[in-house]
A and B are shown apart, each in its own frame.
Chain A
């Protein structure tokens, strides 16, 4: 047996061993790999900045003498400086969510969101609009908005109806950390922003089985991962059931996310009511998402403002 023959046999047998191992699907999302590298870079910056501050702190201490109080204050300032630098670096990755939703039945919606702030606005271009509660009117421009408003420096939930110049305020509720919670799928079936931390929200939703990765789709030339939620059905309350003449509602949703960042590119959701004497009805939303830089102007769009002269309504916002 010569060397070439040995080489060929070894190559074949190792290749056979490699192929016998079977498929090795990706178990760690690429976002985690990128995130890990980013955290390490931030950590290294923190260490080097900390070392620089420590040197500067030592120099200051040498000048003013060994005054412990001054030293600890300088150290605290140095830590605060370094921490704020790192926080700013991380905050610079923040983006403003802008979702534009079209619906066959209920007009158009625009949603702006940044951190805990959001504004969800319904607009009609002059056609018929369903004005709550269930009356149909002709209207041009925004006819209602809901989301967060700053009142006395505090974020609260606000609901504004432009057609009758009224608004209501209520405390800000907490948002679910995933779609795993009961009825959370209904939040995904409407054109709202369910979370401020998309990556962990999607991870947790996939982990509990409330959704699965169902494929890869190109949207406007951008490769996306399709995540489809498990349909969720609820029995409607007696009052609502009487209004819509149906007994049940089923929510369905799908997200198309960027495989690198887990940020959504498109959201599709629908709610179907059925099981009663009315004809089964499905409302469907398709929300196309843009991510804009967190400029002052863009962040301001994520707040509901109450126009001067509007009257406050005290009661359930839905009854406004």
Chain B
């Protein structure tokens, strides 16, 4: 039976959405912390993905595009909130609920990294993309991806060392 009015694009996007939501949300949550904020960011990123679906569907890793957009939106949100707090002096964002996974020292350190380094970590280590695909998704050269990754690893190394010391005590 033919269902009129439902395009092939819509079906394809619905399949992508159902398959990618879970992974994208988890990765964004690790970088952001709050589940509510992460859900909003990921939903916003998927909305943009649908708005640009003809382009996004042709990418090597559409999930990476969604994660990148969500993390960029988080920076915009943070900037806007900072401006509002500076002007209003109150109404700061509520702290994220306690979550042992999200409060580990390594994850906390990841969240302190610059956004580009976080994006590289998310795409290269959590989404397991190669350097070339990561570079293509983030719109940077492969050598810049490597450089961001090295700096991020150097910054996170201290946290691993601290964790290991605690374990051996």
Contacts and interface: CB of A to CB of B under 8 A. Distances in A.
B5 A10 contact: no
Interface in A235-254: none
B70 interface: no
* Chain B CB within 10 A, most for which of A20, A95, A265: A20
Interface string B93-119: 000000001101011001000000000
B126 to A, nearest CB: 6
> Considering the complex of A and B, which 4 residue pairs feature the smallest CB-CB distances, nearest first?
A291-B4, A220-B1, A260-B10, A20-B101
B58 interface: no
Given A10-B156, A21-B29, A261-B5, A34 B126 contact: no
A261 B4 CA distance: 11
Nearest to A293: B4
B47 A17 contact: no
B5 A291 contact: yes
Most buried by B among A34, A222, A259, A265: A34
A28 B39 contact: yes
Interface in A1-44: 1, 3, 6-7, 9-11, 13-15, 17-18, 20-21, 23-28, 30, 33-34, 36-37, 40-41
B167 interface: no
A34 B50 contact: yes
Contacts of A7: 125, 149, 153
B2 interface: yes
A263 B5 contact: yes
B13 A30 contact: yes
B106 A13 contact: yes
Given A18-B30, A40-B51, A265-B3, 12 more contacts: A7-B153, A10-B160, A14-B106, A26-B21, A26-B22, A33-B50, A37-B48, A222-B1, A223-B14, A260-B11, A261-B6, A293-B5
A33 B157 CA distance: 39
Contact of B101 (A6, A17, A93): A17
A223 B11 CA distance: 8
Interface of B is mostly: helix
Nearest to A36: B47
B22 A259 contact: no
Interface band, chain A? 35 or more
A205 interface: no
Interface residues of B, number: 43
22 contacts: A10-B153, A10-B160, A14-B125, A15-B125, A17-B101, A20-B101, A21-B29, A26-B17, A33-B46, A34-B50, A36-B47, A40-B51, A41-B51, A220-B1, A222-B1, A259-B14, A260-B10, A260-B14, A263-B3, A290-B1, A290-B3, A291-B6
Contacts of B125: 7, 10-11, 14-15
Contact of B157 (A6, A18, A93): A6
B145 interface: no
B160 A13 contact: yes
B32 interface: no
A151 B14 CA distance: 43
Contact of B4 (A10, A11, A220, A292): A292
B102 to A, nearest CB: 7
A26 B26 contact: no
Contacts of A14: 30, 106-107, 110, 121, 125-126
Nearest to B2: A290
A6 B2 contact: no
A89 to B, nearest CB: 14
B50 A23 contact: no
A61 to B, nearest CB: 36
B86 interface: no
A280 B161 CA distance: 74
